[in-house]
Amino acid sequence: MTRSTTYITASQLLSLKRRPNIAIVDVRDDERSCDGHIAGSLHFASDTFLDKLPSLVQSVKGKDTLVFHCALSQVRGPKCARRLAEYLSDEMQDDAGIKNIMVLERGYNGWEASGRPVCRCTDVFCKDNSEHGQQSNQS
């Protein structure tokens, strides 16, 4: 079964992100620790993404929708989303339960610039705890 990737807007993601079947996958490299991240996201850096695909699939058990992003979602985010789709097809991972692979339009930079909530914790698996999360400030 070949999966295709689609795009989702920040507004659409914001309305869906609290659903238990969605995982947000941040594939930025070092900038995640400096710039913050979307609260509740998982971090699987693009520079080691292929090596960590099995770990990603394990980490998202029970999720049927994965939303990938990088800084702008122009190169790394879409590329990693395609790599996951190929991996699931090549490795016969149909039992993984992943039905939708999406890419966040405008990436993290667009998310933060529009005032959406970001987190500054340093956890690989952000738990979106209220003490870590904070609203982005617009100037």
Report the pLDDT value the prediction gives residue 135, as an integer from 0 to 100: 40
Give the number of other CB atoms < 10 A from CB of residue 138: 8
| Residue % of the chain over a pLDDT of 70 | 87
- Cβ atoms of residues 106 and 10 within 8 Å: yes
119 is catalytic: no
Backbone torsions φ then ψ of 32, nearest 5 degrees: -60, -40
User: What six digits make up the tokens of 31?
Assistant: 């900038």
Average pLDDT, the chain: 86
What's the CA gap between 79 and 125, in Å, rounded?
A: 21
From the list 2, 34, 89, the residue with the least C-alpha distance to 26 is: 34
pLDDT of residue 124: 76
Residue carrying structure tokens 């016969």: 92
Note the pLDDT of residue 138. Answer: 36
Query: How do the domains of the chain map onto residue ranges?
Result: 5-119
Residue-level pLDDT at 2: 57
Catalytic residue from among 34, 70, 119, 121: 70
Which pair of structure tokens corresponds to residue 122?
A: 């340093």
Hey, what CATH topology would domain 5-119 get? Oxidized Rhodanese; domain 1 (3.40.250)
**Cα distance between residue 65 and residue 139, in whole Å:** 33
Tens digit of each residue's pLDDT (9 = 90 or more) over 48-93: 999 999 999 999 999 999 999 999 999 999 999 999 999 988 866 6
pTM of this structure = 0.87
* 8 A C-beta contact, residue 66 and residue 102: yes
Decide the pairing of beta strands 37-38 and 117-119: antiparallel
